[in-house]
């Protein structure tokens, strides 16, 4: 078997397991591993992963403005989010499952343990999924999520964000992240966002695009995602 | 390298309706859940149970576990596995720790075969949680595979005194072989996590 391993996780791009800052992401203190990671040579266990295709998603899965409707339209600003999933070598990643979840326009999750005193929208569920096409492109419609308070420190608010989960071509390329919106004043105050090394933070902020914006319907945002790419030198087994 | 990796972020406390909706009673189909096999899946049917514990030994009830494994013959359901695979066994499981009274995750699956020459049967596992800004990779090995474990190339890279953290103990009390795999995120018995 000839298989090409993936480049390592780039720790100058990802937040550390335990936030070292006194005013950082508090709940990482007792949850992040503190011993060094043990490096392993990638085997077939890491170089394979679940396989998806366009039949993996239902008709309404990629339209969060419709998949939670009961008696009307969800409230809030309609958005369309699109972009490409690429690897570090710039290669498009086709057939990648993307799962998304988010708060409603008022900043309230439908999740049963969300205690925030903002209204539930009976016509908005906030979860969906899509699969990238042959050029690595994905697209879904939703409602712009609101900011919400959380308990990290006094008067802490999460910036507007959409949670993303991607598989990529292998278990090694798995990524869970969050997409943010341009110009949000809460970004500078958010310890989850600023836990990312400074040079990498802007990669999580989507661009507004008038070209993607749909006339009379939804504001357009572009968010490209880069997964680990294969090393250039193949490994012989 | 033309492009830079997109940073990871925590899965947060509210992943359940997006990633594990059926388990938590939300109205969206799940991509994967705790039932990795079905009644007719070939191989030894087993159960894997465990908890996620923080640095003070408290159970974490808002973690999510994903497993990825070979079938009973050691084949992955993926085109890069040249041996072909059993079409009805995907090998992917996903469970949140928020629905069990003791915050356990549970997978009903089959015991994987050896996926490569010299490799002991194992299951790859990823931990996600609120409070975990990047996900953590580990592996489950089986206590009743001592001979294979002794020569496994990955286990042999783990300091001997920490290998036990990767080996699931076995009980047969529930009628089906059940392997217990607690994950310690921190502390003296911190689970070995891999830089995959
Ligand atoms: Fe959130």
Domain positions in chain B: 15-184
Interface-testing mutation among B1, B2, B7, with chain A (most A C-beta atoms within 10 A): B7
CA–CA separation, B173 vs A82, rounded Å? 50
Report the domain count for chain A. Answer: 1
Percent of chain A at pLDDT > 70 equals 97
Q: Which residue has the higher pLDDT, A224 or A235?
A: A224
User: Which chain B residue lies closest to A41 (C-alpha atoms)?
Assistant: B196
Q: Is residue A237 over pLDDT 60?
A: no
Q: What local confidence, expressed as pLDDT, does residue A233 receive?
A: 64
Query: Quick one: chain B helix, strand, coil %, rounded to 5?
Result: 15, 30, 60
Q: Taking CB atoms and an 8 Å limit, are A49 and B78 in contact across chains?
A: yes
Q: What local confidence, expressed as pLDDT, does residue A94 receive?
A: 97
CB B196 within 8 A of CB B187: no
Q: For the segment A19-36, what is each residue's pLDDT rounded down to a tens digit?
A: 999 999 999 999 999 999
Q: Is residue B165 over pLDDT 90?
A: yes
Helix (H, G, I), strand (E, B) or coil at B86: coil
Q: Taking CB atoms and an 8 Å limit, are A9 and B195 in contact across chains?
A: yes
Q: Taking CB atoms and an 8 Å limit, are A43 and B2 in contact across chains?
A: no
Q: For the segment A76-121, what is each residue's pLDDT rounded down to a tens digit?
A: 999 999 999 999 999 999 999 999 999 999 999 998 888 899 999 9
CB B173 within 8 A of CB B49: no
In a domain, A25, yes or no: no
CB proximity B6 to A under 8 Å: yes
CB A197 within 8 A of CB A203: no
In a domain, A193, yes or no: yes
Provide, as residue numbers in chain B, all residues whose Cβ is less than 8 Å from the Cβ of A25: 10, 131, 133
Q: Which fold is adopted by the domain B15-184? A: Protocatechuate 3,4-Dioxygenase, subunit A (2.60.130)
User: Which chain A residue lies closest to B4 (C-alpha atoms)?
Assistant: A88
CA–CA separation, A25 vs A148, rounded Å? 16
Q: What local confidence, expressed as pLDDT, does residue A235 receive?
A: 52
Interface-testing mutation among A42, A50, A108, with chain B (most B C-beta atoms within 10 A): A50
Provide, as residue numbers in chain B, all residues whose Cβ is less than 8 Å from the Cβ of A39: 157, 194-195
pTM of the model: 0.96
Q: Which domain holds residue A181?
A: 44-226
**Beta-bridge mates of residue B168:** B142
Annotated catalytic residues of A are: 109, 148, 158, 161, 163
Q: For the segment B60-90, what is each residue's pLDDT rounded down to a tens digit?
A: 999 999 999 999 999 999 988 888 777 779 9
CA–CA separation, B10 vs A102, rounded Å? 13
Give the residue-averaged pLDDT of A48-54: 93
Q: Residue A98's domain is classified under what CATH number?
A: 2.60.130.10
Q: What ipTM describes this predicted complex?
A: 0.96
Q: For the segment B88-142, what is each residue's pLDDT rounded down to a tens digit?
A: 799 999 999 999 999 999 999 999 999 999 999 999 999 999 999 999 999 999 9
In a domain, A232, yes or no: no
Q: Which two tokens stand for residue B44?
A: 């030894």
CB proximity B22 to A under 8 Å: no
Collect all residues with Cβ–Cβ distance below 8 Å to A41 and sequence separation of at least 6: A5, A235, B153
- Ligand 1 ion: Cβ-proximal residues, 5 Å cutoff: B 12
Q: Which two tokens stand for residue B138?
A: 């580990």
Provide, as residue numbers in chain A, all residues whose Cβ is less than 8 Å from the Cβ of B191: 33
Q: For the segment B19-50, what is each residue's pLDDT rounded down to a tens digit?
A: 999 999 999 999 999 999 999 999 999 999 99
Q: Taking CB atoms and an 8 Å limit, are B31 and A3 in contact across chains?
A: no
In a domain, A52, yes or no: yes
In a domain, A126, yes or no: yes
Q: What local confidence, expressed as pLDDT, does residue A115 receive?
A: 85
Collect all residues with Cβ–Cβ distance below 8 Å to A102 and sequence separation of at least 6: A64, A109, A126, A127, A142, A145, A161, A162, A163
């Amino acid at each position: 078997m000839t298989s090409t391993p993936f480049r390592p996780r780039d720790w100058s791009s990802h937040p550390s397991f335990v936030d070292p800052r006194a005013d950082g992401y508090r709940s990482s203190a007792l949850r992040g591993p503190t011993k060094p990671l043990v490096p392993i040579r990638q085997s077939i266990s890491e170089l394979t992963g679940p396989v998806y295709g366009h039949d993996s998603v239902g008709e309404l899965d990629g339209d969060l403005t419709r998949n939670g409707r009961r008696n009307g339209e969800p409230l809030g600003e309609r958005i369309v989010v699109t972009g490409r999933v690429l690897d570090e070598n710039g290669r498009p990643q086709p057939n990648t499952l993307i799962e998304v979840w988010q708060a409603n326009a008022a900043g309230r999750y439908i999740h049963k343990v969300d205690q925030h005193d903002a209204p539930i929208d009976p016509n908005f569920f906030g979860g969906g999924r899509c699969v990238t096409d042959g050029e690595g492109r994905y697209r879904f419609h939703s409602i712009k999520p609101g900011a919400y308070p959380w308990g990290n420190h006094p008067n802490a608010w999460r910036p507007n964000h959409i949670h993303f989960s991607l598989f990529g071509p292998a278990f090694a390329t798995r990524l869970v992240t969050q997409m943010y919106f341009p110009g949000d004043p809460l970004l500078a105050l958010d310890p989850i966002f600023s836990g990312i090394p400074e040079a990498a933070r802007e990669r999580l902020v989507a661009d507004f695009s008038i070209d993607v914006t749909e006339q009379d319907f939804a504001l357009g945002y572009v968010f490209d995602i880069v997964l680990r790419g294969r090393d250039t030198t193949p490994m012989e087994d | 390298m033309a492009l830079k990796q997109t940073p990871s972020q925590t899965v947060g406390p509210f992943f359940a309706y997006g990633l594990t909706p059926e388990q938590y009673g939300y109205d969206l189909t799940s991509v994967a859940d705790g039932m990795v096999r079905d009644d007719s899946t070939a191989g030894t049917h087993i159960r894997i149970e465990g908890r996620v514990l923080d640095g003070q030994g408290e159970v974490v009830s808002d973690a999510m576990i994903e497993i990825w494994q070979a079938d009973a013959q050691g084949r992955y359901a993926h085109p890069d596995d040249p041996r072909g695979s059993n079409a009805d066994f995907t090998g992917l499981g996903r469970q949140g720790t928020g629905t069990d009274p003791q915050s356990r995750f549970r997978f009903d699956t089959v015991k994987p075969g050896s996926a490569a020459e010299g490799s002991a049967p194992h299951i790859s596992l990823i931990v996600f949680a609120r409070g975990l800004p990047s996900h953590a990779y580990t592996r489950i090995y089986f206590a009743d595979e001592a001979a294979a474990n002794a020569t496994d190339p990955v286990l042999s890279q783990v300091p001997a005194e920490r290998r036990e953290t990767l080996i699931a103990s076995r009980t047969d009390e529930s009628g089906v072989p059940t392997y217990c795999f607690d994950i310690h995120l921190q502390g003296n018995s911190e689970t070995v996590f891999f830089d995959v």
